[in-house]
Amino acid sequence: MERLSPFILTLVTFIPAAGGLLILFIPRRDRDIKLWALVISTFAFVASLHLPVHLHRETGAFKFEIDKIWITSPNIHYHMGIDGISVWLVVLTTFLTPLCVLISWTSIHERVKEFFILLLILESALIGVFTSLDLFLFYFFWEATLIPMALLIGMYGHGRKVYAAVKYFLFTMIGSMFMLASIIWLYSKTGSFDFVVIQNAIRRGSVPGFEAASLWLFLGFFIAFAVKVPLFPLHTWLPDAHVEAPTAGSVLLAGVLLKMGTYGLLRFDVGLFPEQAHRNAPWIMVLAIIGIIYGALVALVQPNMKKVIAYSSVSHLGFVVLGIFSFTAAGLSGAVFVMLAHGVATGGLFMLTGIIYERRHTYEITEFGGLATPMPKYATFFLVVVLASVGLPLMNGFIGEFLVLSGAFQARPIYGILGATGVIWSAGYLLWMYQRVFYGKVTHEVNNTLPDLNLREKAALWPIAVAALVMGVAPLVWLNAIDPAVQFAVIPSITQLVSKVVSQ
Amino acid sequence: MTSLAHSLPAMLAQTQAALPQAADYMRVLPELVLSIFGMLIMVVDPLLDPESSHQSLGTIALLGAFAALASTFWMAQYPGTAFWNMVRVEGFSVFFHVLVIAIAAVAVLSSFEYLKVQRIRAGEYYALILFGTVGMCLMSSAIELVLIFIALEISSISTYVLAGFRRRDAASSESSLKYFLLGSFATAFFLYGVALMFGATGSTNIDTISRALNSGGAPMPLLAYVATALMFVGLGFKVASFPFHVWTPDVYEGAPAPVVGLMSTGPKAAAFAVLLRVMFEANAPGRFWVIWVSAVLTMTLGNLGALVQNNVKRLLAYSSIAHAGYILVAFAALPDLGTSAVMFYTAAYAAMNVGAFAVVSHFANAGEKYLTLEDYAGLGRKSPVLAATFTFFLMSLIGIPITGGFFAKFYVLSAALKSDLNILAIILVLNSGVGAYYYLRIIVMMYMREPRAEVPVTPMPAATTIAITVCVLLTLYLGVLPGPVLDYATNSARALVGDASASITAAQSGATQP
């Protein structure tokens, strides 16, 4: 297995895209295409399991590194590597994609081939975002996620899909242009796109003009990531995109795409500009808390199930940002854990709403009621995932939020207290939604005859439910990879920062 | 008598020196080849049946372009000046020769189908393309302002006529006339600028002007400033920069689509080459703020204008204004960085824009009927390949990675940032965000709207397929492996304007090494 190590990242990253290319050439028989997509994405998942298994957890340094020259002028390298933070995000992506294939089995009727090709290309791009250590390569994958996702929304969504797709595209595109400007500035001063090289140059203080520019560089990266997270005033694209997207699109959007933003904040914004991150932490944390509370309040009053979940993402991702900018070990590890837990739970919620949409073609809460009677198995899965999402102890949502809040509390008690209200709110809107949809008498006649989950749907939901539970019961499996990585990646910059402040 | 006897050998020697050497002809070989082929087309045209002459005349034009391309590489073996310092062969001019001739070749290829469908007589058309290319080639290699002016006129007059080639269409005639009137006006400004520059420095030779301006020896500095401004007016018109961009949408809308593909890239690249010589090589005084302001307004107005267009040709016209603005940003940067960024940008822009117009001209069909955004609805379903290639060109125009358009913007941005033009860089970034929107509108139309039954998609003939494939491959090549082209551009830029940023780079590499 050791011989595989230098190539495993390349393999995992490009298996889905290569599979997409393969599908391009097989005839348009929908069943074959779906099967191929399932096989390819499952294979990618299995291959990606190599990564956490062989990750040495003692140190947090990058593993499975590969560094080849791609373009000599400018000096762009094909540099990939992962640590305990990104490894789980890669696995999350490969874990969710086969489930997306399963959940789209019958809901996609036309242009099936294009759908699965786009889905697989999207998967590759997402994995690439988490594995690249060259800023240029990172930017390339970052932009590469944009087009398949926008097409998925625009071609297969419903309602105002075009509006949603264009809004999504423009928000992200404009945000990332600022990041590009920052990246090019860094390149023009250091002559390298390599994350590690740039980070070392900044730590040594050998980048000319860095002091004056660092705030703008920080903000350039920050805007791109904040749009993606999405952080409070920049979140407006998210509800539109989520509501109009097809189920698989929503699952990947909430499950993985939003994590690109928080991952970017953690790896690049905090990793490269710890001083600026520290200096700007107060207002960012305030925005995060506004996001937590505002997202929750708006979710509370939504009449549409998908919108409830979309706004719950705004709220949950607020926790991640809060954790990152608390600059405590607990907060940072918790933030990473919330990313994973949210990916699993919210991915599950979107799959569940997708299942009911296939049967009734509506997301309106008032259209349902008493669903537990005709669909008991569906109701059970829904309850498990809702409980995971609200952060019931022993479920995965709890661990991360607990760590984040304890970190926020260390940073400043008021942040912890305000953030904690978010947990209460989330219990409120999700359980209230659950009550209105599943309990009581069946209010609409049509709902009486709805079929319960079939085998395929159960196959898609079981992994989610199991993952939610296992992550809640044995979080250490995840945390003992995350902790050293956080220690290694972020804490040195902070301690350096503190010593700098002290020495002054 | 004795004086005559004495001066006779001297006169003979003078005559000898006054005769061009063989190498001189080598240094204008592509121009000669193109002219010969152009004349050949004119001669052969009357002998052929006008109904079926498209194919054969087009093939001659294509052969001419290939021969010119080959002779360019031959010409590159003879670097140096020719015809008494009128023309200089160097990396810079070879680059633009290749670029302009390649553009002409692709334009010829995409005209095969167009002329047939639109029932346009081919003879003059192809000849004019070749003659226009002669002008553009000369513009890039001329180092004598008067010759530059003549070359500019050669290329302009050909394009004036080409713009009006759809004679039965009023829009085309309007386009031609507008272009002609405004264009003549602009070239007059350029000529006035040349005259004033002569007054300021005593020469019309770029090298001499450069020496005079660099040594601070210009006897009348004010005159030099005015001359720079006037020359910028003339060239700014050709590249469609603010405030001389107003003609662009109308002219592009009326002119035949393959011609628009040609004239939005070829003469523009040549005009940028001249602008590079005037601004950087001659080190024109007072250029910075003129260009700064013009760049900002050009890209902003171009993008804002494009937002509300409903006709694809007009949309691409405004987009070409915006791209001219992006290129102008590089003119505000340090000379060598700016020059290489401009060179790369013109090449990448040519690949993607000629390709985009090839798609448009194929899709527009007889009489250029289908040009509105609505006509493109559902193209992704009706003709996946055509839609995918168009999307690829639009992606490149937006500046998405792995396309040439991305690296083009990238190098301009990095030239600007290396020259500490942070505000200009931010304005560029914001503008490309706005720009993404209108290109996206076309993509949305093609993929996310239902097709309209009455818009037919005709099968693509071989010539058009080749033209589009070449453009796709070049755009992709510049997007995946930009290194060779950029290295060439950088080297020739350094040879042209000196290594202004060398000291900075050296300081930086010193800083990054531990």
- Tens-digit pLDDT profile for residues A240-250: 888 888 888 88
H-helix or E-strand spanning residue A270: none
Contact B410 A74 (CB under 8 A): yes
Q: Whole-angstrom Cα distance, residue B269 to residue B263?
A: 9
Asked if A146 and A123 touch (Cβ cutoff 8 Å), the reply is no
Residue A448 has pLDDT above 90, yes or no: no
Question: Which has the closest alpha carbon to A64: A41, A93, A87?
Answer: A87
- Cβ neighbours of A144 in B, within 8 Å: 401
Q: Is A24 on the interface with B (CB under 8 A)?
A: no
For tokens 């979107």, the residue is A350
Interface of B with A in 407-426 (CB under 8 A): 410, 413-414, 417-418, 422, 425-426
Q: Is A219 on the interface with B (CB under 8 A)?
A: no
Predicted confidence at residue B472, as pLDDT, reads 93
As a whole number, mean pLDDT of residues B253-263 equals 88
Residue B475 has pLDDT above 90, yes or no: yes
Quote the minimal CA–CA distance from B98 to chain A in Å.
21
Asked if A332 and A266 touch (Cβ cutoff 8 Å), the reply is yes
- Cβ neighbours of A219 in B, within 8 Å: none
Tell me which long-range contacts B8-14 makes (C-beta under 8 A, separation of at least 24).
none
Summary mean pLDDT of chain B: 85
Contact B413 A174 (CB under 8 A): no
Whether residue B87 is contained in a domain is answered as yes
Whether residue B33 is contained in a domain is answered as yes
Residue B513 has pLDDT above 60, yes or no: no
Contact B507 A204 (CB under 8 A): no
Q: Is B490 on the interface with A (CB under 8 A)?
A: yes
Asked if B213 and B287 touch (Cβ cutoff 8 Å), the reply is no
Alpha-helical runs (H) found in B164-242: 170-201, 206-214, 221-239
What is the 8-class DSSP label of residue B413? Answer: H
Contact A191 B430 (CB under 8 A): no
- State the Cα torsion A311-A316-A317-A323 to the nearest 10°: 160
What is the 8-class DSSP label of residue A350? Answer: H
Whether residue B411 is contained in a domain is answered as yes
SS3 category, B241: coil
- Cβ neighbours of A165 in B, within 8 Å: 444, 448
Nearest CB to B436 within list A144, A173, A213: A173
Residue B4 has pLDDT above 70, yes or no: no
Residue B505 has pLDDT above 70, yes or no: no
Q: What are phi and psi of A412, to 5 degrees?
A: -165, 120
Interface of A with B in 80-119 (CB under 8 A): 111
Q: Which residues of A96-127 are buried (b: 16+ CB within 10 A; e: fewer)?
A: bbbbbbbbbbeebeebbbbbbbbbbbbbbbbb
Whether residue B14 is contained in a domain is answered as no
Whether residue B466 is contained in a domain is answered as yes
Instruction: Tell which phi-psi region holds residue B84, choosing left (phi > 0), alpha (psi between -120 and 50) or beta.
Output: left
Residue A1 has pLDDT above 60, yes or no: no
- Cβ neighbours of A184 in B, within 8 Å: 410, 413-414, 417, 425
Nearest CB to A174 within list B381, B433, B447: B433
Distance of CA B60 to the CA centre of its chain: 23
Cβ-Cβ pairs closer than 8 A, A with B, add up to: 95
Summary mean pLDDT of chain A: 85
Residue B254 has pLDDT above 90, yes or no: no
Q: What are phi and psi of B460, to 5 degrees?
A: -85, 125
Q: Whole-angstrom Cα distance, residue A329 to residue A337?
A: 12
As a whole number, mean pLDDT of residues B131-142 equals 93
Whether residue B10 is contained in a domain is answered as no
Annotated domain spans of chain A: 295-504
CA-based nearest residue in chain A for residue B485: A73
Q: What percent of chain A has pLDDT over 90?
A: 5
- Cβ neighbours of A192 in B, within 8 Å: 512
As a whole number, mean pLDDT of residues A454-470 equals 88
Residue type, B368: E
Instruction: Tell which phi-psi region holds residue A376, choosing left (phi > 0), alpha (psi between -120 and 50) or beta.
Output: alpha
Residue type, B141: S
CA-based nearest residue in chain B for residue A146: B400
Contact A154 B437 (CB under 8 A): no
Cα atoms found within 13 Å of the Cα of residue B162, Cβ hemisphere only: 31
Count of the separate structural domains present in chain B:
1
Residue A495 has pLDDT above 80, yes or no: no
Residue A501 has pLDDT above 80, yes or no: no
Contact A206 B447 (CB under 8 A): no
Domain that holds residue B495: 21-512
Predicted confidence at residue A333, as pLDDT, reads 87
Nearest CB to B483 within list A71, A144, A173: A71
Nearest CB to B509 within list A146, A155, A191: A191
Question: Which has the closest alpha carbon to B265: B188, B334, B140, B352?
Answer: B352
SS3 category, B316: helix
Residue A502 has pLDDT above 60, yes or no: no
As a whole number, mean pLDDT of residues B313-319 equals 91
Predicted confidence at residue B506, as pLDDT, reads 40
Interface of A with B in 159-198 (CB under 8 A): 161-162, 165-166, 169-170, 173-174, 177-178, 180-181, 184-185, 187-192, 197
Contact B402 A140 (CB under 8 A): yes
Enter the pTM of the model. 0.84
Asked if A20 and A116 touch (Cβ cutoff 8 Å), the reply is yes
Q: What are phi and psi of B456, to 5 degrees?
A: -85, 150
Mutation target among A184, A199, A210, A219 for the B interface, most CBs of B within 10 A: A184
Residue B345 has pLDDT above 90, yes or no: yes
Token output for B400: 């998405």
